[in-house]
Amino acid sequence: MPRCKAGGCANDPDDGEGWDGYCGSCADQMEDGMGYTHYWTQPRDLTPEEMGDIGASVRKIIATATDGRKVLDGYRGTPGVPLQIAGGDGEGPPQITKEVISINGKGPDLDHEAFYLPAKRELPYDGADPSRLGWAFCKTARKPYDIVVTACLTYLAAAYDFEVGSDGDVDDWDDGVKLAEEALGREFANPMITEALVA
């Protein structure tokens, strides 16, 4: 009997409203998370020294996240399989240099869009209004590497004044904030907590 291609799911892929080898339940979960995106604005170009510091912090976040941390459920991966972080294309090692940081989940199934941070701010697309300089986004579709992306953005918001937004809420970022704290040995505010929520 064929199995759903979502790791850890033993359902029949033809059960319910499934598609592309996924059962109906997992297809629904995937559809709910497909557009899940984080947004940020890099306020200024970063120096080689700053990119070196950021790279060292990103390496610590990745090392902590991949040190026995498990992918837990459904389409996000196979239970008991450690989280794997790759380069921006979902293959090879993460790209961490003084010019750019580019990471993703390990492909072919656990990658989505790259988390991409250049030292020199860029426009998000050709023809974008110049006021969008430094604005970027990463659609993770709630795949396992999302925890690393939210941890990196938590750190960048605190250390380099990045403005951060998300389709997620405070609870969706809690694990990423905890990962940043564990990896970097300091406390961080959850970037999704706004003044309006605190008051």
Question: Which residues, other chains included, contact 92 with Cβ-Cβ below 8 Å and sequence gap of 6+?
Answer: 86
Q: Are both 60 and 149 inside the same structural domain?
A: yes
Q: Are both 59 and 111 inside the same structural domain?
A: yes
Q: Are both 28 and 80 inside the same structural domain?
A: no
Look at residue 137 in the predicted model and tell me its pLDDT. Answer: 95
CB atoms within 10 A of CB 171: 9
Q: Are both 29 and 47 inside the same structural domain?
A: no
Number of folded domains in the chain?
Answer: 2
pTM: 0.79
Q: Are both 69 and 82 inside the same structural domain?
A: yes
Q: Are both 67 and 133 inside the same structural domain?
A: yes
Q: Angle CA(192)–CA(172)–CA(29) in degrees, nearest 5? A: 140
Q: Are both 20 and 80 inside the same structural domain?
A: no
CB-based contact 31:16 (threshold 8 Å): no
34 vs 22: CA distance, rounded Å: 14
Look at residue 160 in the predicted model and tell me its pLDDT. Answer: 98
Q: Which residues of the chain have pLDDT under 70?
A: 1-34, 68-81, 195-199
Q: Are both 61 and 139 inside the same structural domain?
A: yes
Q: Are both 82 and 136 inside the same structural domain?
A: yes
Q: Are both 12 and 74 inside the same structural domain?
A: no
- The pair of three-digit structure tokens given for residue 137, joined into one six-digit string: 């986004």
CB-based contact 59:96 (threshold 8 Å): yes
Q: Are both 22 and 46 inside the same structural domain?
A: no
Look at residue 12 in the predicted model and tell me its pLDDT. Answer: 67
Look at residue 79 in the predicted model and tell me its pLDDT. Answer: 56
Q: Are both 53 and 120 inside the same structural domain?
A: yes
Look at residue 184 in the predicted model and tell me its pLDDT. Answer: 97
Cα–Cα nearest to 9, from 72, 75, 69, 71: 75
* 189: containing domain: 38-198
